[in-house]
């Protein structure tokens, strides 16, 4: 009997079984993505602080040095500017460096290389020198980290033309988006939400499901009442808020996971907001000049005649990241998301003066 591939199998033979899916963590999926990329392309090199022998602070690079050798998975000095500068040279000569910035705010000493060279090289050379460089950045709060260990610095990267900015929120996306980032000829800032490293999902490393490409958003939960626009570590918060709104208030909130901040999938976001007429943008980064400001502006420009209420934002407060004991007050949670949903001017509930009362919040009205 012929199969779709043109081969033959004996009568009564069972079709090959798909590999069983089992609970896997985001950290495991990222590790597998790095391993598969190293195996598939000899030009891929992983390096950074403690990525070799230790396997990374979060063990995302565990076992790679032992399997591929220290020449392919290399420990570096504690010098972020030097790490990124070395990566620029490697990419210019045709390699595909994958750099780890150990924590979000540790990347700041390397910003000069990012802004002056990594983001500009392809444009500067009129395309003659692509920059196939991936910068992995564990980011965000929720782990009780001290200062310089919990920043959400995505707005800095978004404001730097020439960089792609990607952040997974699910185990399949962690694997799929990292593989796509490493294969890209453009520089990618790959933001890994630390609090989701140990979240599990049914996933097969032997047969990982395909995921949408960089630059495509995904509707994680369909709805008709309002749209929650989010990404990375705030996706589980929005999913929980949507469940609570359906259970307690009968509202069906649609949840859009951006996945990619640059390029931004405006089409998926706009289509969702035009269907629901209301939108709330949720993220951990500060509200003032944060990612939500850009998203809200674009939604307002393209959905103005469809909106039933102003686009609201739920974000981190406009302060340096607080000490561990206070971070639960700083990070957006389900209650803050639901409070914003309740302020979306449902029919006749809005009263004159509401806007003035809410404008006193941090970030110019950000909840």
Q: What are the residue numbers of the active site?
A: 149
Using alpha carbons, select from 157, 140, 131 the residue that is nearest to residue 237.
140
Q: What are phi and psi of 216, to 5 degrees?
A: -120, 130
Measured distance CA(367)–CA(361) in Å, rounded: 6
Using alpha carbons, select from 254, 297, 270, 277 the residue that is nearest to residue 347.
277
Using alpha carbons, select from 151, 211, 149 the residue that is nearest to residue 181.
211
The 8-class DSSP code of residue 43 comes to T
Measured distance CA(82)–CA(186) in Å, rounded: 20
Using alpha carbons, select from 66, 106, 60 the residue that is nearest to residue 83.
106
| Helical pair 291-303 and 266-276, crossing angle rounded to 10 deg | 60
How many CA within 13 A on the CB side of residue 142?
24
Q: In the chain, which residue ranges form alpha helices assigned H by DSSP?
A: 26-40, 64-68, 80-92, 111-113, 121-124, 154-158, 171-183, 235-249, 266-276, 291-303, 327-330, 334-342, 354-358, 362-365
Measured distance CA(230)–CA(187) in Å, rounded: 23
Residues 6+ apart with CB under 8 A from 315: 281, 282, 283, 284, 285, 286, 287, 290, 292, 332, 363, 366, 367
DSSP H or E run through 283: strand 279-286
């Amino acid at each position: 009997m012929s199969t779709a591939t043109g081969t033959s199998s004996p009568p009564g033979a069972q079709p090959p079984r798909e590999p069983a899916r089992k609970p896997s963590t985001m950290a495991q999926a990222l590790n597998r993505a790095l391993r598969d990329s190293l195996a598939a392309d000899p030009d891929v090199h992983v390096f950074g602080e403690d990525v070799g022998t230790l396997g990374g602070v979060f063990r995302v690079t565990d076992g790679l040095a032992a399997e591929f050798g220290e020449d392919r998975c290399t420990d570096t000095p504690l010098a972020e500017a030097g790490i990124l500068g070395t990566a620029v040279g490697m990419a210019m000569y045709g390699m595909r460096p994958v750099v780890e910035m150990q924590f979000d705010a540790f990347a700041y000493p390397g910003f000069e290389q990012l802004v002056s060279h990594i983001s500009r090289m392809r444009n500067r050379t009129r395309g003659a020198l692509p920059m196939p460089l991936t910068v992995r950045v564990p980011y965000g709060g929720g782990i009780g980290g001290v200062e310089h260990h919990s920043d959400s610095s995505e707005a800095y990267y978004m404001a730097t033309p020439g960089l792609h900015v990607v952040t997974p929120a699910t185990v399949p996306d962690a694997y799929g988006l990292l593989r796509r980032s490493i294969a890209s000829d453009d520089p990618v800032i790959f933001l890994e939400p630390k609090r989701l490293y140990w979240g599990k999902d049914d996933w097969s490393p032997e047969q990982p499901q395909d995921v949408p490409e960089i630059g495509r958003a995904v509707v994680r939960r369909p709805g008709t009442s309002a749209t929650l626009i989010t990404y990375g570590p705030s996706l589980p918060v929005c999913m929980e808020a949507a469940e609570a709104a359906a259970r307690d208030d009968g509202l069906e909130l649609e949840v859009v996971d951006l996945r990619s901040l640059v390029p931004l999938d405006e089409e998926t976001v706009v289509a969702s907001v035009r269907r629901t007429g209301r939108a709330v943008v949720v993220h951990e980064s500060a509200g003032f000049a944060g990612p939500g400001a850009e998203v809200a502006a674009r939604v307002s420009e393209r959905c103005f005649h469809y909106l039933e209420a102003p686009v609201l934002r739920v974000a981190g407060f406009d302060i340096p990241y607080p000490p561990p004991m206070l971070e639960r007050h700083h990070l957006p949670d389900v209650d803050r998301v639901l409070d914003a949903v309740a302020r979306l001017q449902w029919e006749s509930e809005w009263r004159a003066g509401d806007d003035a009362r809410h404008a006193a919040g941090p970030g110019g009205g950000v909840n």
